[in-house]
Each structure stands twice: as structure tokens, then as C-alpha cells.
Amino acid sequence: MEAPRAATSSPFFNNTRVRTCQTVRTSNGVPLAIAFPQKKTGYKAANSWVNQRRSSETCSSAAATYKPVPVMHAGMGQKKPLMPYSPFAYRSRLPTTDFVAPYKNSSSVEIGDRSQPLKDHFKTTTGSYMVATDLGGFTANQGIVARRTHWHKSHTNN
């Protein structure tokens, strides 16, 4: 024998054998079945990634490292960030000038001496380290050649 339905059901449906819903209520003479509670799955579940507690960090360490930082000085105004007291703190210093405007009609480009071109201007890294030297040096002694080769390789592959 099955247990009777909850007292919240309509009196007509209290002793029925159909158990596909939790309760049956009657609204304006129309029976309305109330489903059993379902365990939430997916993003609605309590332990899903969406509902988990988040870190107190509001931005990544890379974003904090590379964000634009204002140059702090004593006359900054209302946007001066708070920090622990330090007698040498930038927020207590007077503002310094970073940019000096050049005189009008003056050039700051220095071309240099063009009569002596750079010999290794377009030389690659390998070409600058692999220097072609005479490792033989007027001798056929294998010990001397090996020692010079060892010295040359240890000084050019840094």
C-alpha cells in the first residue's frame, strides 16, 4: 500500500496510485501537477564553475604589471593612489619635467659620418660570432691546433 499524498494536494488526488508528480493542485477547477524537485545540473548547479567563489584578485598579474601607471607627484589632484608612508615616496615629491620641447626649426636627428660605412651593419648573429681565423698558424702540430681551436670556440660561443 502506498503512502498518501501530501496535504497540499487537492482532496480528489490524495489517494491515487499515480506517483509521477509531487502534488496535484487545482486552479480554477483545472488540476495542475507539481513536479518532483530535480537536482540542478550544468551551469545551474551549486558547484558549477559559474557559481563557485571567485578569487579576490580582480585582474591577472600580467595586467597589473603592464597597466599604465601615472607619474606620481605632490600636485597630482584627486587621482593620487594610496600607499604606505615612505619619506622617499614619489607621491610626496614635486613634479619633474619629462619632456623638453625642442626649439622651432631645429632637428634632433644625427646622421653621422657617412664616409665610413659600417662593415658589419647587415651581419647576422652567426656571422659575427663565427670568425674565420687561421687556426693552423704556420704549424702542423696537432696539440697546438687543438688548443687554439678550443680557445677560439670557448671565446666565440658566449
Residue ranges of E strands in the chain: 23-27, 30-34
The pLDDT-based confidence of 157 (bands split at 50, 70, 90) is: low
From the CB of residue 5, how many other CB atoms can be counted at a distance below 10 Å? 19
Residue 58 in domain = no
Average pLDDT over residues 59-75: 84
Tell me, yes or no, whether 86 lies in a domain.
no
In a domain, 3, yes or no: yes
Q: How confident is the model at residue 126 (pLDDT cuts 50, 70, 90)?
A: confident
42 Cβ partners below 8 Å, 6+ apart? Answer: 48
21-59 pLDDT, tens digit per residue, is 888 888 888 888 888 888 877 777 777 777 777 777 778
- In this structure, are residues 102 and 108 in contact, taking their beta carbons and an 8 Å threshold? yes
The pLDDT of residue 74? 82
What is the rounded distance in angstroms from the CA atom of residue 87 to the CA atom of residue 128? 49
* 33/18 Cα distance (integer angstroms): 11
How do residues 96-106 score in pLDDT, each as one tens digit?
A: 777 777 778 87
Name the residue range of residue 33's domain. Answer: 1-37
For residue 13, count other CB atoms closer than 10 A to its CB: 16
Q: Answer yes or no: are the C-beta atoms of 23 and 9 closer than 8 Å.
A: yes
Q: In total, how many domains does the chain have?
A: 2
Helices (H), 75-124: none
Confidence of residue 1 (pLDDT cuts 50, 70, 90): very low
| Most confident residue range from 10-14, 16-20, 27-31, 135-139 | 27-31
Residue 149: inside a domain: yes
* Alpha helix segments (H runs only) across the chain: 61-66, 125-129, 142-156
- pTM of the complete model: 0.25
